[in-house]
Each structure stands twice: as structure tokens, then as C-alpha cells.
Amino acid sequence: MAQEEEPLFTIDGAGHVLSWSLAAGRLLGDGDGDAAGSGIALRATAGGDASPWEIRPALVDPRAPRSALERALLDALLSESQLGLVVLDRRLRVVRISAAAREMAGASSPALVGLRLDEAFPLQDPRRELAAAHRLLRTGEPVLSRLVTTLPADRVRRGHFSVSAFRLHGENGEVLGLAMTLLDVTRRERDRARELTIARVHERVGRSLRLVATCEALADALCHDFADLVVVALTEEAAGGDFAPAEPFDAARLPLRPLAVRAPAGVPPGIRAGDRVTLGDEPVLVRALHSRRPVLVRRDASGGGLSADPVRERALRAAGAHSMIVASLAVRGRLLGMLVLVRRGDADPYSHADVRTTETAALHATLCLDNARRAAHDRALASTVQRRFLDKVPNAQLGVDAAFVALSPLPQSGSWFDVLPLSGARCALVLGEIPRDSTDALVLKGQLRTALRALADLELQPDELLARLSDTVTHLAEELPGGGAPRTARCTYALYDPVARTVRVACAGHPPPLVIGPDTTVTHLDEASGPALGADDPAPFAMATRELADGSTLVLPSGDLGASLHPESLAGLLAGDATAQDLADSLFTRLAPHSDSTGTALLARTYGLGGDRTACWELPAREESAAEARRLARGWLAAHPDAIGADDLDSADLLVSELVTNAVRYGTPPLTLRLILNRSLTVEVGDSCATSPSLRHARVTDEGGRGLFIVSQLTDKWGTRRVRGGKAIWAEQPLGGG
């Protein structure tokens, strides 16, 4: 707040007025205050109502021999010099001010004399500048080249001045006031700010080959210092890593996707990152995209809008926006997107120099975005190629509905997954990961997947399978170039049996799996933890076994993703009867926006086979058991005419007869026969003998040895697996002529 103005004037030794304030002019009857050179007489009175006056020595001693020269010099500096000069008294009121300083203050009359420093100049931070002036009065330490910013009342343009100030002393050393010099450095500071903006863009933009990260880096580099609101939007093709559209295109209908939006706190930008927008009837934006040159728009005195769209215009007005620059992001004749910069409030309106700065920043950003787009395209291509080698997730007929979620591209993370069908309608769920810093990750990944498939066919338990796979990793590492450099891998192997509704799982370097029940209870299978494959850790692999209710969800996370999974939120996310792919999409949507979230997970929603799809009988160890087994099997299969035809039924009779006969002859009682009807018919015959049979190619003269050969001809695959108390010989017969 300005203090009450006091009359103030200066006179020389001859009694002539050098300058005076408006208050002094009004007091002496000269309202214009332009009485320089007039004579004045002061008469002392005794008491009465006369106002007291404070008389101080003149700053220039008129009795000095050089007073005329010095006065001429001072007059010349005050009237002719382009350097602003201001003289203040001890109360920081203006005593003398040059013409240049008046212009810098935005005043053309002598009205500034008598005003305090913060009243004479529209300082942006008056409290700070007054504190500096008082400190100079107190200490006498000169102020050199202090940068001071002014903000005119019309708020059109800020001014920047280099100010030097010195304390003035009288003959006896008393403090008289301050002398200040002002140099207008507005253009220099604005140019410097633009150069810093360009340097910041070059420093921050281009460090990442991620499209979103590049857009965010550009928005962060321009926000606050060069723009109050920044929007970086890419075409949908460019955002997906595809080639950008070439001319001609309809800019008004071109779909854009903002990938980075920056706005001051509390100011709604009117647009959100990730939204799909079109320009519509926006002539300024359309012109910028077609012309490939930045377009400057300023709100005129009549209040004309910055946007033709009513919704966007309301958002801009609510934010106090007054000027905007729109620049296209195009490279090699192809459009990548658009950059929108907005200034609001008391920020300087954009100028044509700012347009050139925007053009330079957009050019660098466009090249970086194109590099990121190419990298995204390459990653998508590599991911597609890799997925060509990934098994398709089996459908729910195998008792699981599985889906894979990856928060980072597969080629970069070195991850893979497999869902392997096994005998007895069981399936193996596999999640593996190779350290991404391994140059041979792709080769090692293929070798491990091949080895794991072979081990899975041996019907090993998860802990035993991982132990053998760990030995394989060690052997493969010795064969890699580089002198047998150590290589490790991480893997989770789960074995799900939909008939028994059980899962057996073991982990090698991965966090323990989670089971989310239909009632959303979360169970950690902590006992399944184990060391990484190929590691020097001698700890054995452990296996966890759990019964799963129908509709349970088994989550196999990688090490990176496991730390991001919170059981409570995960349970809520996986509740309901959504498909596994829906669950994977929801999990990706929840975690992907967080830049620190990486890793992979395999989700499997489990379902048991109904009692009508499986049957089991115990048979005596005698020759008549083959006929009894055929009768039981035919009767049970006849109850499923929709699944098995007459030809399949005859083949099943022969298959059951051969397997039971083989068990009667070479096995140890008790004998069991189990049938599982799913996509194919599985016939299992178990006995208590641990010896596994082998396929013989009988000669013409042999009387036996053709049983398993016949089995191999009737089925897609057959084999032997260990069960509690013995073994089971199984065979899968395709149905429907398959």
C-alpha cells in the first residue's frame, strides 16, 4: 500500500526550484508541478498554524567551483542518457529521475517525484526489492547488476532491468539516499529464456525410445517456463507405432490421442491423456496441421476466443488463457501429431519470437518421436514374431481358462509362458524369464522351452522337473560363448489336475503364486519358493499342493510384477465370473499407467471336470477282466452319444481290451481302469508295479508283443506316469474321426 504523499521539492543555492512533487505543487498553488527554475522564498514564522518543513542539504554543493559543470552533466544524464538514473532519499522516495527511467517506469510526467520506489515502478516483487534497498541504506554495500522484473498494470509485457545501486553520503558522511542506474535487458532476458527452453528440450527429449515417455519429456521441458498448459497429441497410427498418415488427409476428422497433458494445479486442462479426440471445426488447429508451420493465436481486445469449439473455449477462458501456439509434429512428409502451448494469467503473451522457438523445439521433438515410433514398431514386430512361437492358450475344456499379461514387451523382458496339455486332462502352466541383460537370451529361451516340454512329457512332479531344468541351464551356460559365463533363469511350473481339482506348483527364482478363491480369499503358496535355475544356491526346490474350488484363479507372477500385486486389491479385481483374458486386461489397465510397473504374470481360472465326464473301476487280476472292462467302458460311453460315435466306440473297446490285458499279464494287482472324456478319450489302466512297459515291434513269427503297438496306432499319444503306489499306462484316443 502506498503511503500518504508528502510535499517534496529541491532547490539550489540561489533559491531556484530544481524539482518538486505533485503534493508540493498543490501546496504552493501549481497543480502541474512543473515549476523547475522558478524562485522561491522561505520565511520563518513563530508558531501558528504553519506546517513544519524539513530542510536538507542539496546533493550537489552549489558553492563548489565545479557546480555548474556538474549540474550540466547531471542534467544531460537525466535528459539525454539511455541509461536510467534514479535518485532516492532515505525514505526511498524519488528525488530525481531521468527521462529514460521515466519511460522504463511507464510514466511520461514528473509525477514520479515524491513517490516511493514501489509506487513509482510496477515491481513484480516489491517486498523483495524494498528489502534490498533498505539493506543497501543500512550496510552501504553496493548492488551491482541486480535483475529486477516489472509487471505493468496492463499486464501486457514484463520488463527486465539490470539495476545497480549506491548509497549517497553528505560532506559529513551522513546518508542522504540512494542513486540507482537502470539498464533495460528485457530483450536479452527473453532471448535467454527462449535459449534455455531449447536447451532444456534438447537435454530432456530423446533419452527414451518410449512414445509416452518422449511426449511427457517434451511437455515437462516446455511447461511452466515457456507454457502454462501443454498438450502433446499423436495420431492414432503414430501412437501405435505404425506409419503416420501422409498428405492428403482430412485434419478435421483425423483421430488424435493426447499422450501428455500438463496444466497448473487446480486448472482443468479440458482434455485428458489417453482420450481419443478429433479437431472438428477448429480452423486454427487444422491450419497448423496442414501448413506444417506453427500458428499463433491471441485473444484480442474484443474478447475473441482461442478455440472455435465451445467446450474447449470455456475451459480456456476458465483457465485465464490469453494466447496459444499450435505446431504440427511432422517428419519426412508424414504427420506424427500436434503440439499445443497455452499461456494464461499474468504470463507474457506469445510473440513471433516464441513461435520460432516453438518451431525449433517441435523439430527436435519430432525427430525423437519418430525414433520412438520406429522403436515401438520394431518392438511390436519382434513381439509378434515371438508370439508366433508361443502356444495358444487352451480353452476351458482342459479345465483352465488361461491368459498372459505383460507390462513390458516380451522381447525386452525375456519372458515366456506355456500352457502344456498333459495326460489325464491335466495341464502344465509355465512362466519363465531370462535376465534381460543376457545377449543370448533369445537362444537360451528357446532351448529352455524345448527342454521343459521334453521334461513335462516325462510326467515329472514340479519340484523334480525344475531340478532337472536347473541342471540343463548349467549345461547350456557352459556351451555359451564367453568362457562359460554364468547364466541363470527364473521359472514357475504348475501342474493342474481338473479331475482331482488339485494344483502342484514349484518356483525357481519367482515369487510364490497366489490363489484367489471364488470368495475372494487370497492364499500365498509360500512353500513353493526355490532358487533360480542354474544358480549356485544348493537349496532344493519345494512343491506346494492345494485343492482348488471351481472358479478359483491361480496367479503366477514374475519377480518384478510380484512386488506390485497387493492381495486386497487383486482379490477385488479378480472377483466375479469374468474370463481370464478380461482379468488380464483389468490387471494391465490397473498397473500399466505406473511407469515403475514391469514384469509378467500368467492367470489361470480353474474348473474341475464334472463327475459325468470321468469314471473309474477296480478290476481283478484275471483274464476275464478284459471282457468286464470292455462291458463297463461301453456302457459308460454309450451314455454320452453327443461326444462319441459308433466308430469311436469300437476303437475304445479295442483300446481298453489291450491295456487291461497288458496289465493283467505284466502288472501287479490291484488294477484300475479310468476313463476321462474331454476333447479326446483318455484311457488309463493302473497297477502296483513300478516297471514301465516299452513298445516292441513284433516279428511275424512272434505270438505276442503287439498290444502296445496296437495302442500306439489307435491313439494320438500314449505313455506311462508314476502314481501313488505304482504306475498308470494311459492313451488318448481322438474323437470324431480326428
Q: In the predicted model, what is the mean pLDDT of residues 60-78? A: 62
The pLDDT tens digits for 196-253 are: 999 999 999 988 888 889 999 999 999 878 988 899 988 888 887 777 666 666 777 7
**Which cell numbers in the block locate residue 314?**
470455456
The residue length of the chain stands at: 738
Q: How far is CA 690 from the centre of its chain?
A: 56
Q: Mean pLDDT lowest for which of 239-243, 406-410, 642-646?
A: 406-410
Give the domains, in start order, of the chain with CATH numbers: 9-184 (3.30.450.20), 189-380 (3.30.450.40), 394-606 (3.60.40.10), 611-734 (3.30.565.10)
Cβ distance 403 to 603 under 8 Å? yes
The rounded percent of the chain whose pLDDT value lies above 70 is 76
**pLDDT range class, residue 433, cuts 50, 70, 90:** confident
| Highest-scoring range by mean pLDDT, 36-50, 156-170, 659-673, 685-699 | 659-673
**pLDDT range class, residue 452, cuts 50, 70, 90:** very high
Q: In the predicted model, what is the mean pLDDT of residues 434-442? A: 61
Cβ distance 523 to 514 under 8 Å? yes
**Which cell numbers in the block locate residue 608?**
474341475
**Higher-pLDDT residue of 596, 410:** 596
Q: Mean pLDDT lowest for which of 49-63, 171-185, 386-400, 572-586?
A: 49-63
Rounded Cα distance between 556 and 188, Å, is: 60
Q: Which residue is listed with cell 472438428? A: 280
Rounded Cα distance between 218 and 202, Å, is: 9
Q: Are strands 321-331 and 295-298 parallel, antiparallel or unpaired?
A: antiparallel
Rounded Cα distance between 541 and 515, Å, is: 20
Any idea what the Cα angle at residue 92 is, between residues 86 and 95, rounded to 5°? 45
Rounded Cα distance between 724 and 686, Å, is: 10
- Buried-state track 380-390, b at ≥16 Cβ within 10 A, e below 16: eeeeeebeeee
The pLDDT tens digits for 112-150 are: 787 888 888 888 888 998 999 999 989 989 989 888 888
Number of neighbours of residue 446 by Cβ within 10 angstroms: 12
Q: E-assigned strands of 270-315?
A: 295-298
Q: Which residue is listed with cell 487370497? A: 522
What's the pLDDT score for residue 674?
93
Which among 48, 53, 47, 2 is positioned nearest to 24, based on CA atoms? 53
**pLDDT range class, residue 151, cuts 50, 70, 90:** confident
Number of neighbours of residue 605 by Cβ within 10 angstroms: 26
* Cβ contacts of 70 within 8 Å, gap of 6 or more: 60, 64
**What one-letter code names the amino acid at 44?**
A
Rounded Cα distance between 683 and 660, Å, is: 10
Cβ distance 202 to 364 under 8 Å? yes
Any idea what the Cα angle at residue 659 is, between residues 658 and 660, rounded to 5°? 95
| Highest-scoring range by mean pLDDT, 78-82, 117-121, 284-288, 592-596 | 117-121
What's the pLDDT score for residue 9?
66
Which among 185, 178, 218 is positioned nearest to 202, based on CA atoms? 218
Which among 518, 525, 494, 526 is positioned nearest to 574, based on CA atoms? 518
Cβ distance 121 to 150 under 8 Å? yes
Any idea what the Cα angle at residue 55 is, between residues 52 and 56, rounded to 5°? 150
Rounded Cα distance between 674 and 681, Å, is: 10
Q: Is the pLDDT of residue 48 over 60?
A: no
DSSP class per residue in 68-121: HHHHHHHHHHHHT-SSEEEEEETT-BEEEE-HHHHHHHT--SGGGTT-BHHHHS
DSSP class per residue in 277-288: B---S-HHHHHH
Q: Is the pLDDT of residue 462 over 50?
A: yes
Q: Dihedral, CA atoms, 238, 242, 245, 246, nearest 10 degrees?
A: 120
What's the pLDDT score for residue 160?
86
What's the pLDDT score for residue 698?
56
Q: Is the pLDDT of residue 35 over 60?
A: no
Number of neighbours of residue 109 by Cβ within 10 angstroms: 11
What's the pLDDT score for residue 411?
47
Q: In the predicted model, what is the mean pLDDT of residues 79-99? A: 83
Q: Is the pLDDT of residue 541 over 90?
A: yes
Q: Is the pLDDT of residue 548 over 90?
A: yes
Q: Which residue is listed with cell 474331454? A: 678
The pLDDT tens digits for 312-347 are: 777 777 777 888 899 988 888 788 888 999 888 878
What's the pLDDT score for residue 483?
47
**pLDDT range class, residue 70, cuts 50, 70, 90:** low
Residue 682 phi/psi, 5° resolution?
-105, 125
Collapse the DSSP code of 524 into the 3-class scheme (helix H, G, I; strand E, B; otherwise coil) and give the result.
strand
What's the pLDDT score for residue 266?
66
What's the pLDDT score for residue 365?
92
**Which cell numbers in the block locate residue 154?**
496492463
What's the pLDDT score for residue 687?
92
Q: Is the pLDDT of residue 463 over 90?
A: yes
* Cβ contacts of 242 within 8 Å, gap of 6 or more: 377
Q: Which residue is listed with cell 563548489? A: 64
Helix axis angle, 211-222 relative to 186-204, nearest 10°? 170
* Cβ contacts of 545 within 8 Å, gap of 6 or more: 502, 503, 504
**Higher-pLDDT residue of 640, 436:** 640
DSSP class per residue in 444-487: HHHHHHHHHHHHHHTT--HHHHHHHHHHHHHHHHHHSTTTS---
Which among 360, 364, 393, 459 is positioned nearest to 727, based on CA atoms? 459
**What one-letter code names the amino acid at 101?**
A
* Cβ contacts of 351 within 8 Å, gap of 6 or more: none
What do you get for the CA distance between the two ends of the chain, in Å?
94
**pLDDT range class, residue 356, cuts 50, 70, 90:** very high
What's the pLDDT score for residue 566?
66
What's the pLDDT score for residue 106?
73
Q: Mean pLDDT lowest for which of 91-105, 415-429, 527-541, 552-566?
A: 552-566
The pLDDT tens digits for 466-485 are: 999 999 988 887 776 654 44
Rounded Cα distance between 434 and 488, Å, is: 7
Any idea what the Cα angle at residue 361 is, between residues 359 and 364, rounded to 5°? 110
* Cβ contacts of 210 within 8 Å, gap of 6 or more: 372, 375, 376
The pLDDT tens digits for 715-734 are: 888 888 888 888 999 999 88
DSSP class per residue in 216-238: HHHHHHHBTTTBSEEEEEEEHHH
| Highest-scoring range by mean pLDDT, 387-391, 410-414, 532-536 | 532-536
Bridge partner residues of 671 (DSSP): 619
Q: In the predicted model, what is the mean pLDDT of residues 275-298? A: 80
Which among 225, 223, 205 is positioned nearest to 215, based on CA atoms? 205
Rounded Cα distance between 394 and 427, Å, is: 9
**pLDDT range class, residue 461, cuts 50, 70, 90:** very high
Rounded Cα distance between 450 and 476, Å, is: 12
**pLDDT range class, residue 564, cuts 50, 70, 90:** low
Instruction: Output the average pLDDT for the chain.
Output: 79
- Buried-state track 550-563, b at ≥16 Cβ within 10 A, e below 16: eebbbbbbbebbbe
Cβ distance 51 to 42 under 8 Å? no
Q: In the predicted model, what is the mean pLDDT of residues 501-530? A: 90
Q: How far is CA 288 from the centre of its chain?
A: 28
Spell out the alpha helix ranges (H) of 113-210.
117-120, 126-139, 186-204
Cβ distance 319 to 263 under 8 Å? yes
**pLDDT range class, residue 453, cuts 50, 70, 90:** very high
Rounded Cα distance between 541 and 6, Å, is: 92
The helix or strand, by DSSP H or E, that contains position 718, with its residue range, turns out to be strand 717-723
What's the pLDDT score for residue 484?
47
Cβ distance 638 to 631 under 8 Å? no
Q: Is the pLDDT of residue 30 over 60?
A: no
Residue 79 phi/psi, 5° resolution?
-105, -30
Q: In the predicted model, what is the mean pLDDT of residues 505-525? A: 89
